[in-house]
Chains A and B, each alone.
Chain A
Amino acid sequence: QVLLEESGGGVVQPGRSLRLSCAASGFTFTDHGMHWVRQAPGKGLEWVSFISYDGNTKYYADSVKGRFTISRDDSTNTLYLQMSSLTAADTAVYFCASRTPIDYWGRGTLVTVSS
């Protein structure tokens, strides 16, 4: 059974940083690319970032390029999203998701950027 569990969300002040984690289990983590997708309150889905199965290819949405960094630790089956220079526009539920096309999703972790 595939399980993706996000953590690390919370309330953070504008301009500060936050790191999200996603613990993956139930599939061969090293075989698959992984994504972060976010959803602002009451809004639609926004794709954020992708990392390939081997970590060599990384893509970002223009809205986060230069501020967010995706990474993975294959020794612990964990996906990360390092977020910096956060603004109110980054307030959202952040979903970890696996494979392309995305077929498994975590339940999400809420990030609120507010002073």
Chain B
Amino acid sequence: EIVLTQSPGTLSLSPGERATLSCRASHSVSRNFLSWYQQKPGQAPRLLIYAASSRATGIPDRFSGGGSGTDFTLTISRLEPEDFAVYYCQQYGSSPFTFGPGTRVHIK
């Protein structure tokens, strides 16, 4: 099983600032099949990034993903008020399709 570790656990930032979130895998993620999701309280997650760096349909270009192998990042170039949420990474290269524990981005 691939274990995903996300850091930091919590990020305190102000609107307009840049956010950099990390997702590290215990083993190489096959074909870089790593996705990022945003979840707000009481809502289902929303797909932001798939295959490490491809933006999902309708996702603003301030969201970008990068990395390969075992180290991946999600960057939000300039935080908007609606971006304060919890972010999860998930690997879907090999079963079980594990999620990371999440990074909470909250307003400073």
A binds B: yes
> Any chain B CB within 8 A of the CB of A31?
no
Residues on A with beta carbons closer than 8 Å to the beta carbon of B73 = none
Contact B96 A59 (CB under 8 A): yes
Give A100 Cβ to nearest chain B Cβ, in Å: 5
Question: Are A44 and B95 also in contact (CB < 8 A) when A101-B33, A103-B56 are?
Answer: no
Contact B45 A101 (CB under 8 A): no
Q: How many residues of B contact A (CB 8 A)?
A: 25
**A60-B96, A95-B44 given; 19 more Cβ-contact pairs under 8 Å:** A44-B99, A44-B100, A45-B88, A47-B96, A50-B95, A59-B95, A59-B96, A61-B96, A62-B1, A62-B96, A101-B47, A101-B90, A102-B35, A102-B37, A102-B47, A102-B90, A103-B56, A105-B46, A107-B44
